């Protein structure tokens, strides 16, 4: 017996003796042990809650500091480049609007800024930077502070990279942990929600997915966050897929519609679309194999699973249309799932078209889109 094992057994014996000796007369040893375990568990839960609250507060302070640092980089002797001095009131508004305010003030703001308002903010000297103002954090949705920080970061970065205000962004690399930690917090909240999504479906969730897609579309920011957040992003994609496939409620279609929309928004980023398309095809190929086996023996099939797969077919169609429209070449046509789908397509359509005409028609349409995208790549690569 090694020393560690001996100490562990000794500690257990000592704890058991202590419980027996201190046990009240009106309780058995087991009841008293369970009572003590409950007390310890409650204390641990309270301490854990305090630690999580402090960690959240620290992250929000780091977010505010980073945004303030970026803002200060836009000022030279109290002036914006090529502009008149900002008033002190405007400067304070700019520095205070960090996206980390924890007040319960309710605001009604548009989800997206108009181009006209952005241009007017840039041209007028006494207005703050054109940040997207989002609803402040509320107890009902504590994730909004992280989303608001990331949205403000994107807007500031876009503003700083504009023609007249090119600014050094190397300090973002030094503070990349603040950005990646904020993304991880947002992803954790999204995964928790999409594990059991319910109606009414708030626009916040699709807006949060859109923010993630914007971050991943920015080459600089995506390089900073993907190293740390890649596994969590993959988990989130699979959570969205499972939320569609594993739902069996009678009134599930409205929820699935919103989840499908979230996956399409996520796939609007070419970097994320590259991994989402094979993930969708993996599920579709697996279902097709099962359906062919069922059809051969004329067995019954799971109608709910059959209905749910059409949502994946629709998502894949939308992403392939985006790919074709953008003349993008992000999809790897040598991916095993894509090759398997295209190789089996004619045989699948021939075998299943009589029993499942709608399903095979959808497969045929997807095959056309995949082949079109492939021809676009071949054609563009052949050009001098």
**107-118 burial by CB neighbour count: b if 16+ within 10 A, else e?**
eeeeeeeeeeeb
Instruction: Provide the residue range defining the domain that includes 343.
Output: 270-384
In a domain, 375, yes or no: yes
Highest-scoring range by mean pLDDT, 47-51, 57-61, 103-107: 57-61
In a domain, 304, yes or no: yes
What is the average pLDDT across 280-301? 91
What is the average pLDDT across 48-66? 80
Same domain, 58 and 186: yes
Residue 118 confidence (pLDDT) above 70: no
Same domain, 149 and 220: yes
Same domain, 329 and 254: no
Residue 28 confidence (pLDDT) above 60: yes
Residue 70 CA to residue 131 CA, distance in Å, equals: 13
In a domain, 358, yes or no: yes
Last residue of a domain, one of 238, 268, 298: 268
Same domain, 281 and 384: yes
Apex 198 CA angle, 51 and 250, nearest 5: 145
Same domain, 234 and 150: yes
Same domain, 262 and 357: no
In a domain, 2, yes or no: no
In a domain, 290, yes or no: yes
Q: What percent of the chain has pLDDT over 70?
A: 74
Same domain, 321 and 310: yes
Q: Is 0.85 topped by the overall pTM?
A: no
Residue 290 confidence (pLDDT) above 80: yes
Same domain, 257 and 324: no
- Higher local confidence (pLDDT), 78 or 21: 21
Q: Which range (106-115, 185-194, 258-267, 331-340) has the least confidence? A: 106-115
Same domain, 307 and 369: yes
Q: What pLDDT score was predicted for residue 365?
A: 93
Same domain, 196 and 312: no
Q: What pLDDT score was predicted for residue 187?
A: 92
What does the pLDDT look like over 96-117, one tens digit per residue? 444 444 343 333 333 333 334 3
Q: What pLDDT score was predicted for residue 10?
A: 82
Last residue of a domain, one of 217, 233, 268: 268
Q: Which range (7-21, 285-299, 356-370) has the least confidence? A: 7-21
In a domain, 226, yes or no: yes
In a domain, 211, yes or no: yes
Sign of torsion over alpha carbons 87, 90, 94, 96: positive
Same domain, 60 and 173: yes
Residue 244 CA to residue 280 CA, distance in Å, equals: 11
Q: What pLDDT score was predicted for residue 75?
A: 56
Structure tokens at 107: 């605001």
Residue 173: pLDDT band by 50, 70, 90 thresholds?
Answer: low
Residue 121 confidence (pLDDT) above 60: no
Q: What percent of the chain has pLDDT over 90?
A: 29
Q: What pLDDT score was predicted for residue 288?
A: 94
Q: Which range (16-30, 89-103, 156-170, 195-209) has the least confidence? A: 89-103
Last residue of a domain, one of 268, 291, 314: 268
Domain count, the chain: 2
Mean pLDDT of the chain: 76
Same domain, 250 and 288: no
Q: What pLDDT score was predicted for residue 131?
A: 43
Q: What pLDDT score was predicted for residue 59?
A: 81
Q: State in Å, rounded, how far the first CA of the chain is from the last one.
A: 74
Residue 353 confidence (pLDDT) above 50: yes
In a domain, 4, yes or no: no
């Amino acid at each position: 017996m090694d020393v560690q094992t001996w100490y562990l057994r000794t500690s257990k014996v000592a704890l058991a003796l202590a419980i027996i000796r201190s046990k009240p007369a009106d309780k058995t040893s087991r009841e008293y042990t369970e009572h003590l375990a409950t007390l310890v568990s409650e204390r641990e839960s309270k301490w854990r809650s305090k630690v999580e609250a402090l960690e959240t507060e620290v992250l929000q302070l780091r977010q505010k500091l980073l945004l303030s640092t970026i803002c200060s980089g836009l000022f030279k002797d109290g002036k914006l480049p090529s502009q008149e001095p900002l008033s002190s009131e405007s400067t304070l508004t700019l520095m205070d609007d960090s996206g980390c305010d924890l007040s319960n003030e309710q605001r009604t703001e548009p989800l997206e800024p108009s181009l006209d308002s952005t241009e007017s903010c840039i041209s007028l000297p006494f207005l703050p930077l054109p940040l997207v103002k989002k609803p402040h954090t509320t107890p009902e949705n504590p994730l909004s502070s992280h989303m608001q920080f990331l949205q403000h970061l994107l807007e500031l970065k876009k503003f700083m990279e504009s023609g007249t205000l090119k600014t050094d962004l190397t300090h973002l690399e030094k503070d990349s942990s603040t950005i990646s930690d904020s993304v991880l917090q947002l992803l954790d909240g999204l995964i928790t929600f999409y594990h059991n999504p319910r109606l009414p479906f708030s626009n916040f969730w699709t807006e949060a997915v859109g923010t993630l897609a914007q971050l991943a579309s920015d080459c600089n920011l995506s390089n900073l966050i993907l190293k740390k957040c890649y596994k969590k992003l993959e988990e989130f994609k699979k959570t969205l897929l499972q939320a569609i496939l594993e739902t069996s409620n009678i009134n599930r279609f409205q929820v699935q519609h919103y989840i499908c929309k979230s996956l399409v928004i996520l796939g609007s980023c070419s970097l994320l679309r590259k991994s989402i398309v094979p993930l969708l095809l993996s599920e579709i190929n697996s279902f097709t194999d099962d359906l062919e086996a069922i059809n051969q023996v004329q067995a019954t099939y799971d109608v709910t699973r059959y209905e749910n797969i059409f949502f994946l077919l629709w998502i894949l169609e939308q992403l392939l249309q985006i790919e074709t429209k953008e003349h993008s070449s992000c999809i790897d046509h040598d991916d095993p799932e894509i090759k398997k789908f295209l190789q089996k397509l004619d045989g699948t359509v021939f075998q299943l078209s009589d029993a499942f005409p709608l399903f095979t028609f959808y497969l045929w349409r997807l095959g056309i889109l995949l082949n079109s995208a492939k021809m676009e790549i071949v054609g563009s690569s052949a050009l001098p």
